[in-house]
Amino acid sequence: MSEQYRIIGKRIGGLDEKDKVLGNVIFAEDYTLPGMLHARVFRSTRASALIKRLDLTRAKALDGVVCVLSAEDVPNNESVKNVVGQTTEVGLLEATNQVLARDRVRFYGEAIALVAAENLDIAEEALELIEIEYEDLPAIFDPLEARKPGAPKIHGDNNIISAWKIRKGDIEKGFAQADVIVEKSYRTPRQEHAHIEPESGVSWIDDMGVVNIRYAAQVIEHYRDVAAVLGLPDSRVRVIGTIIGGGFGGKEDITVEIFLGLLAWKSGRPVKLTYTREEMGFARHKRPPYYLHYKTGATKDGKLTAMEAKLVSDAGAYVYLSPWILIYSTVHATGPYFIPNVKVDANSVLTNNIMTSAFRGFGGMEVAFAYESQMDELARKLTMDPLEFRKKNFLKKGDETANFQTITSEALLPEAASKALAALGGKGKGSKHKKVGRGFACSWQSYGRMTYLHDTSNAWVNLEMDGSSVVRSGIPDLGGGQRESLRAIVAEILGLKLDEVHVISTDSQVTPPAGTVTATRALYMSGNAARLAAENVRKIILDQASAMVGVAPEKLKLKSKQVYLAENQAGPENQAKKLSLVEVIKSCAAQGKIPQSLATFKAPFTEPITTDLIRDPVFADFTFGAQAAEVEVDTETGEVKLLKYSTAYDIGQAINLNRVEGQMEGGAAQGIGFGLMEDYIEEEGIPLTWNLHEYLVPTSKDLPDIETVVLESRSGKGPFGAKGIGEPAITAAAPAVINAIRDAIGVRIYHVPATAERIFRALKGKREK
């Protein structure tokens, strides 16, 4: 595969990894600055209460405390906004977001005050000296209850913050045509990102009065949010991103940056703030939990006729990205299937739980658990092979989705599912109490942001006088090799070696704005921008060479720092006709034609959604794939052991094959965690799973070897026909495992994670019947 490329699609291991294995990479918490203060955050211990009294006097008086801030010290503490993705049915909400809680706290862990001191011990002691009195307010923790008119209100007079719908065909008629119908309810958990690196950063005011914040940021554009809070022009706040020690959406919303900006601004001193693991657990956003109700019908020949879904997500106490996540769920609700009649109704609801927001999968994997459980049960009812049944219904290129979007790339679903299943190899036997079963699941997930957001990405590329290249792009490196992808793309196009290309990234005042490292958009958007800029630079060189040798530029090729005649370029007679790249660059420079380019890549633009009804394209494209699992279930304890696992995706075109596999393996592991073991528990709004010995993520012993199958249709919208894989890699994992458990023990789990306890109870329920 990828024979026509020198670098693209190969297994590239090198510069980035080398620094990491040597321990040379400087992460956010590793930075120190002269005269630096250390900060801590004072947080609510109530889920819903009025703040009757807040007294900072004793904390401020402590020796070594330099700065203590509460809401009244924040220049622009409240931002009243109409909710992103808010819809006409819900009406204007005007949710209040506050930097620090002023009069009222709405969840356990909400920030109330900030302390900066000469060292961390003093800052922690100062937290103990802050005096606060609360008056409890009515609270609501169940999103289904919170939708009802009499429920306590979190903001304004309606807890429903968004409502999306899909209507396609005639749902009644569709169910009337069905020979079999499966109707079930499902639940998914509040998943914790559990990136190993805590949120962290440092800030300082430079000699031009600019507030600098260096932190682990998935979105460096948050400099604008810091500027808005401080009441400064955007140009007076600079964000410098660091190499990120894992994010998965956890470093997408505001983390430490506003607090750091405020404390440096108010104290005039450099400041460092790192969240503790407990704070990460109880005060930071999680994946929104979902309640899903699905009804799906099919004819006896196995053709889907209708699907109706009702989705409710728990937004928690503030409005972060849950309305957007809900759009993803609504659009992806059908799964990668052509269904003539579809009805989806989705709500996101405020509660006094911890706020929820972005997490890899972003609304796509919650519905995947439900639609792939439904597909499995339908196949069972039809006594049809689950893959044959799916094959009759898979979306294909040219098909229309339920929101009337035409699929314009390949959808290699039959290949992915067959290959994932084949990769499992021979099936294990099991024993009396240990039942072996197999399952698989297919999924689709968009890559790139919603098209009505008018996404763009910029990159600048040049050639130095010696023929090496510098790339500037604002894209943060989340650990997925984002910088390395740009290096590979530019090296391929300019005919350079990897170590001849240097990438500068993630600085809001130095690198051209490239947008966020979220929404599986980094390769698609910043990769295309780097490709465009490199192609422009190549054109400058080839045009110049063309003028120098009198050969049309189309006949010239740039490789190994030489410009060759394109035909028969290895032939000895052509060696005489080559020009060195350095010669061409010198000639360019002499004529004032600098080989450099700033390019903008624009995603397809669509009009903003103006009604609750989604009936137009929302995404640029989709990635399709499948995952398969073999499990062994102990029927006496309910314990599941994963025996085999495989994952197969069409990623369009690999840039670095190692990294593609890495995304697929890591995505599967996180999705398996979501399906089998990860459960963030709150009781009456009080989080109970703060630490990594309470909130359990998969260890090396919880996972089997993961077989990866990489398909390359070269039909994607990314550079060289690539599709995105970051999020798609997680979506099908939970239903694959749950379908395997169903196969093993004849019991289906409707509420993930499928812990031993839930499986044990489900088995007990079956026996009692």
Partner 1 sequence: MELYEVDLMVNNRAVSARIKAETTLLDFLRENNFIEVKRGCSKGDCGACTVIIDGRPVPSCMTLALQCPGKKIYTVKSLGSWDKLHPLQQAFVDHEAVQCGFCTPGMLMTAKAFLSDQPHPSREEIREAISGNLCRCTGYQKIVDAIESVGKGGEYE
Q: Which residues bind partner 1 (CB under 8 A)?
A: 11, 13-14, 16-27, 29-30, 193-198, 243-246, 248, 274, 276-277, 478-481, 656, 658-659, 661-662, 665-670, 691-693, 697-701, 703, 705-706
Q: Which residue has the tokens 């026909």?
A: 721
The β-bridge relationship of strands 501-505 and 469-473 is: parallel
Q: Where are the alpha helices (DSSP H) in 103-217?
A: 120-129, 143-146, 171-177
Residue 281 contacts residue 517 (beta carbons within 8 Å): no
Would you say 410 or 477 has its CB closer to partner 1? Answer: 477
CB of 278 to partner 1, least distance (A): 9
Positive or negative torsion for Cα 219, 225, 230, 234: positive
Nearer of residues 214 and 332 to partner 1, judged by Cβ = 214
Q: How far is the CB of 426 from partner 1 (least distance, A)?
A: 18
445 SS3 class: strand
Q: Which is nearer to partner 1, 313 or 670 (CB)?
A: 670
Q: Is the dihedral of CA 326, 331, 337, 341 positive or negative?
A: positive
Contact 270, 261 (CB under 8 A): no
Q: Which is nearer to partner 1, 246 or 721 (CB)?
A: 246
Pair 625, 443: CB distance under 8 Å: yes
* Tokens of residue 650, six digits: 């069409």
Smallest gap from Cβ 487 to partner 1, in A, equals 15
H or E stretch including 590?
Answer: helix 581-590
290 - beta bridge partners?
188, 313
Smallest distance from partner 1 to CB 654, Å: 12
Smaller CB separation from partner 1, 227 or 668: 668
Give 270 or 481: the residue with its C-beta nearer to partner 1. 481
CA–CA gap between residue 187 and residue 65 (Å, rounded)? 47
Peptide bond into 753 cis (omega under 30): yes
CA dihedral 608, 612, 614, 619 (to 10 degrees): 50
Q: Residue length, the chain?
A: 769
CB of 318 or CB of 674, closer to partner 1: 674
Residue 342 and residue 403 in contact, taking contact as beta carbons nearer than 8 Å: no
Nearer to partner 1, 10 or 60 (CB): 10
Q: Least distance to partner 1 from the beta carbon of 277, Å?
A: 4
Q: How far is the CB of 728 from partner 1 (least distance, A)?
A: 15
CA distance readout (Å), 200 to 113, 121, 138, 206, 737: 18, 17, 34, 20, 35
Closest approach of partner 1 to the CB of residue 702, in Å: 8
Q: Least separation, in Å, of the C-beta of 697 and partner 1?
A: 6
Q: How far is the CB of 492 from partner 1 (least distance, A)?
A: 19
Of 440 and 601, the one with the shorter C-beta distance to partner 1 is 440
Give the CA count within 13 Å in the CB-facing half-sphere of 363.
Answer: 30
Q: String of b and e for 431-470 (b: at least 16 CB within 10 Å)? A: eeebbbbbbbbbbbbbbbbbbbbebebbbbbbbeeebbbe
For residue 12, the minimal CB distance to partner 1 (Å) is 8
Inter-CA distances, 628 with 380, 491, 498, Å: 17, 36, 36
Query: CB of residue 362 vs partner 1: minimum separation in angstroms?
Result: 17
Helix (H) or strand (E) holding 657: helix 657-676
CB of 280 to partner 1, least distance (A): 9
Task: Return the number of the residue (556 or 655) whose C-beta is nearest partner 1.
Answer: 655
User: Which CB sits closer to partner 1, 562 or 656?
Assistant: 656
Pick between residue 204 and residue 645 the one whose CB is nearest to partner 1. Answer: 645
Q: Can you tell me the distance from the alpha carbon of 400 to that of 404, in angstroms, rounded to the nearest whole number? A: 5
Give CA 550 to chain center in angstroms: 50
Rounded CA-CA distance 367/598 in Å is: 40
Confirm if 313 and 350 have CB atoms less than 8 A apart.
no
CB of 700 to partner 1, least distance (A): 4
* Helix-helix angle 756-768:733-745, to 10 degrees: 40
Closer to partner 1 by CB, 20 or 81: give it: 20
